[in-house]
């Protein structure tokens, strides 16, 4: 199973829940299994043929979420469940074929711990163990039931027995993840229910393949004053992950779409590549809640330890915990888990949309997270948006593998056109601050540039504005410099005359510098026009104020948080 496919499916479910989509759609997606993720297609296995038909009705909605999550158009490919296909094959087998001998249950010592044998990010990993059957042609048939299937089976009196040893289970999962498949016409020896496939050479300690080609790496992360502290802290955390008692917690917070998940996955991928002996568990909030509910159900039947896959790792990474804190049924257990990790000097990485103090967390945990590495990821400035657009264009669009001469893409003439430095500057001016949307916006502009070039023209600013209007609300929202000044005056307790006047005491000077900085960042004005609004100051004076705030951001991380709060207030009043 593709690790990033599971992540993007989980995020799509979370987006459906966020927007109040039909509960049946959310339920069917939750019961689906992520199979693979390519550059442009997510393949999932639906739980039934009925579910396939229903999911296809909602396919445009799901694909819109996938594009929002992955920064680029992603098609959804929905396939039939393996169990259904196997049952269909069994019904067509010759009646004279010898019956399969009943399989004996494996001993308790043979029952594998699923989480340690499979990808550490998929919600399916906490489902009950798969059953194995043998068709009349001795072809192994596998089915991965979810928790709801198991419950239904128990109610109907159907006994589900695990007949696989830990080694057999591992081999089966490797085969499902791309190992050597068993041909349908080849009879398997009766004594070996699952042929051993070729095991990939490089794997994580839990059996999941290394994400060597993942986009979520430190090298691919664009950092600037708004997120450099979080970037450096994530690098430090990854470098010291094997030193017990050092850098035990990292808490990254900020709005959605600013790169928090990228940093979390970069830590995971860095450790998988450089320190495979360190056991790492990554889960987004939806995966964590699904795992917890499944474990509660299992404990009722077998008294199994709760969430052993979470307790038994060296580094625990959980994304979007605000969704966990909001669930009363799970919050107590989450606090216990965090407290155990911190007390035992084990490593914890957390991401949320708010700071610990604003999450209604246990006071002890809030204090401990505040004492650790606490990092804000703020909205990107004009300079950083320019840098992100330029980097994404060069590393992803221009550097994409060229199509062969006989490919359909080559016949079409390619997809991305040429973007100039002036294009990037204008794109940064009219775009919003969500990095996911920013990268998708860059793809669209490059595609439009390609279309214009094939027609003998070039991409214009009007073309960019039209595309921006489809992505960003802020592109059409005018922020007035008087609004910026009003918010700053209230925040720093200065009068309008003091703000634009000649006085230079520390508090007034700081308020004036920040007001000029935000006016340049948020208002569509030249430095000369901004200077005219601040007591007819000249261009060089305005530029000096702007550079002073840039230096303040680099030297004091609290300034970035203050600027974020001020931006929010200004936007709300505009």
pLDDT in tens, 25-80: 888 898 899 998 888 899 999 988 888 888 998 898 899 888 878 777 889 999 98
User: What's the pLDDT at 105?
Assistant: 38
Q: 271, 309, 262: which is closest to 120 by C-alpha?
A: 309
Directed axis angle between helix 328-343 and helix 363-371, to 10°?
Answer: 50
User: What's the pLDDT at 280?
Assistant: 92
For 144-173, the three-class secondary structure string (H helix, E strand, C coil) is: CCCHHHHHHHHHCCCCCCCCCCHHHHHHHH
Do both 234 and 368 map to the same domain? Answer: yes
Do both 302 and 348 map to the same domain? Answer: yes
Do both 75 and 148 map to the same domain? Answer: no
- Final residue in a domain of this structure, among 158, 176, 194: 176
Beta bridge partners of 141: 133
Do both 456 and 509 map to the same domain? Answer: no
Do both 248 and 359 map to the same domain? Answer: yes
Has residue 371 been placed in a domain? Answer: yes
Do both 424 and 506 map to the same domain? Answer: no
In Å, how far are 36, 73, 256, 421 from 444, measured between CA atoms?
25, 10, 21, 16
Do both 450 and 500 map to the same domain? Answer: no
Do both 315 and 396 map to the same domain? Answer: no
Has residue 202 been placed in a domain? Answer: no
Q: Are the C-beta atoms of 196 and 245 separated by less than 8 Å?
A: no
Mean pLDDT, the chain cut into blocks of 10 residues (574 residues total): 77 85 86 88 88 88 84 86 51 40 38 35 36 37 36 36 45 48 39 36 38 71 84 92 86 89 93 91 86 76 68 89 74 80 87 86 80 86 87 81 49 67 90 86 92 91 89 68 92 93 89 94 84 90 91 85 85 72
Which tokens sit at 344? 């035992």
Helix (H) or strand (E) run with residue 33 in it: strand 33-37
Beta bridge partners of 459: none
User: What's the pLDDT at 209?
Assistant: 37
User: What's the pLDDT at 555?
Assistant: 85
The average confidence (pLDDT) of the chain is 74
Do both 40 and 172 map to the same domain? Answer: no
Do both 360 and 278 map to the same domain? Answer: yes
Domain count, the chain: 5
Which tokens sit at 93? 């087998």
Beta bridge partners of 352: 253
Do both 267 and 232 map to the same domain? Answer: yes
Has residue 190 been placed in a domain? Answer: no
pTM above 0.85, yes or no: no
Half-sphere exposure of 313 toward its Cβ, with a 13 Å CA cutoff? 27
Do both 166 and 267 map to the same domain? Answer: no
What's the domain range around 134? 110-176
User: What's the pLDDT at 329?
Assistant: 63
């Amino acid at each position: 199973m593709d690790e990033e496919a599971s992540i993007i499916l989980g995020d799509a479910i979370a987006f459906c829940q966020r927007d109040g989509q039909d509960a049946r759609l959310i339920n069917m997606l939750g019961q689906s299994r992520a199979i693979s993720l390519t550059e442009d297609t997510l393949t999932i296995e639906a739980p039934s043929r009925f579910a396939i038909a229903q999911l296809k009705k909602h396919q445009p909605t799901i694909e819109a979420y996938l594009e929002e999550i992955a920064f680029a158009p992603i098609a959804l490919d929905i396939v039939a469940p393996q169990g259904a296909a196997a049952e269909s094959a069994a019904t067509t087998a010759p009646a004279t074929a010898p019956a399969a001998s009943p399989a004996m249950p494996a001993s308790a010592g043979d029952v594998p711990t699923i989480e340690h044998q499979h990808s550490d990010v998929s919600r399916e990993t906490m489902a009950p163990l798969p059953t194995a059957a043998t068709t009349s042609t001795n072809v192994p048939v596998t089915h991965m039931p979810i928790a709801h299937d198991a419950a239904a089976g128990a109610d109907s009196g159907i006994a589900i027995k695990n007949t696989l040893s830990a080694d057999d289970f591992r081999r089966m999962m490797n085969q499902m993840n791309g190992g050597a498949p068993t041909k349908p016409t080849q009879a398997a020896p009766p004594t070996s229910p699952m042929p051993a496939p070729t095991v990939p050479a490089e794997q994580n300690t839990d059996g999941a393949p290394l994400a060597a080609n993942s986009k979520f790496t430190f090298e691919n992360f664009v950092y600037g004053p708004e997120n450099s502290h979080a970037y450096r802290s994530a690098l430090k955390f990854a470098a010291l992950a094997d030193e017990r008692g050092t850098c035990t917690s990292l808490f990254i917070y900020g709005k959605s779409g600013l790169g928090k998940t990228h940093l979390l996955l970069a830590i995971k991928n860095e450790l998988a590549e450089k320190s495979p002996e360190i056991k790492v568990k990554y889960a987004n909030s939806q995966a964590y809640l699904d795992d917890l509910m499944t474990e509660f159900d299992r404990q009722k039947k077998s008294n199994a330890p709760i969430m052993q896959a979470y307790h038994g790792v060296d580094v625990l990474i959980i994304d979007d915990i605000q969704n966990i804190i909001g669930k009363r049924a799970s919050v107590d257990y989450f606090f216990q888990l965090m407290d155990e990790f911190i007390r035992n000097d084990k490593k914890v990485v957390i991401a949320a949309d708010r700071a610990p103090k604003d999450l209604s967390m246990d006071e002890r945990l809030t204090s401990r997270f505040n004492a650790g590495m606490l990092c804000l990821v703020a909205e990107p400035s004009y300079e950083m948006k320019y840098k992100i657009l330029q980097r994404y264009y060069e590393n992803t669009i221009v550097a994409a593998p060229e199509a062969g001469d006989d490919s359909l893409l080559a016949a079409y003439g390619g997809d991305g056109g040429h973007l100039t430095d002036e294009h990037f500057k204008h794109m940064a001016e009219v775009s919003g601050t969500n990095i996911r949307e920013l990268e998708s916006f860059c793809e669209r502009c490059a595609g439009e540039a390609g279309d214009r070039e094939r027609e003998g023209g070039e991409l214009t600013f009007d073309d960019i504005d039209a595309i921006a209007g489809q992505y960003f609300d802020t592109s059409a929202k005018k922020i007035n410099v008087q609004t910026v000044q009003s918010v700053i005056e209230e925040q720093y307790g200065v009068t309008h005359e003091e703000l634009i006047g000649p006085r230079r005491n520390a508090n007034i000077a700081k308020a004036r510098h920040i007001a000029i900085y935000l006016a340049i960042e948020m208002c569509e004005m030249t430095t000369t026009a901004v200077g005219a609004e601040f007591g007819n100051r000249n261009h060089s004076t305005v530029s000096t104020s702007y550079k002073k705030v840039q230096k303040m951001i680099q030297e004091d991380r609290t300034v970035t948080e203050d600027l974020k709060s001020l931006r929010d207030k200004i936007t709300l009043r505009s």
